[in-house]
C-alpha cells in the first residue's frame, strides 16, 4: 500500500488477521489510515473531542477542500491506536472510536466509555 509517504515517515503495523482478511494501519502526522478488507478508513484528529472520519475504496483519499471543516488538524492531539481481538481502537483523551475488523462498523465512546 502506497500512501504517498516516504518510508522514513510511515509506520505500519499488522493488527490482526483471519484466514481470509487482514487489517493494517499506518500513522503519519497524527493521521491514522486503516486498511480494511473492503476499503480504507482515515481518522484525523482536530481536537481531543473532534475526529474527522473518512472512508474510501482505495488509499487515494480526496484532496478536495471540505465545505464543513474550517480548521486544520491538530498534530499535538495525543492519540493512541490499539486493538482487541475484534476491534481497532483509536483514542484521544476525550473519546474512543472502536472499529470492528470484520465489518468496519464504528462505536463511538466518551472518556468514561459511555456511548
Summarised one tens digit per residue, pLDDT across range 49-99 is 999 898 888 888 877 777 776 677 888 899 999 988 888 899 999 999 999
pTM for the whole structure: 0.72
What share of the chain has pLDDT > 70, as a percent? 78
pLDDT at 70: 65
Q: Can you list the alpha helix ranges (DSSP code H) found in the chain?
A: none
- Coil, strand or helix: which one is 11? strand
Place 28 in a pLDDT band, splitting at 50, 70 and 90.
Answer: confident
pLDDT at 5: 40
- Report how far residue 112's alpha carbon sits from residue 18's, in angstroms, rounded to the nearest whole number: 31
Contact, 36 vs 25, CB < 8 A? no
φ/ψ of residue 14, rounded to 5: -90, 115
Amino acid at each position: 500500500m502506497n500512501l504517498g509517504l516516504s518510508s522514513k515517515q510511515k509506520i505500519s503495523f499488522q493488527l490482526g488477521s483471519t484466514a481470509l482478511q487482514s487489517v493494517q494501519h499506518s500513522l503519519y502526522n497524527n493521521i491514522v489510515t486503516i486498511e480494511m478488507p473492503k476499503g480504507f478508513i482515515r481518522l484525523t484528529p482536530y481536537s481531543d473531542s473532534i475526529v474527522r472520519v473518512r472512508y474510501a475504496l482505495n488509499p487515494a483519499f480526496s484532496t478536495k477542500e471540505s465545505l464543513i471543516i474550517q480548521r486544520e488538524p491538530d498534530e499535538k492531539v495525543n492519540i493512541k491506536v490499539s486493538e482487541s481481538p475484534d476491534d481497532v481502537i483509536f483514542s484521544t483523551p476525550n473519546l474512543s472510536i472502536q472499529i470492528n475488523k470484520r465489518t468496519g462498523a464504528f462505536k463511538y465512546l466518551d472518556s468514561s466509555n459511555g456511548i
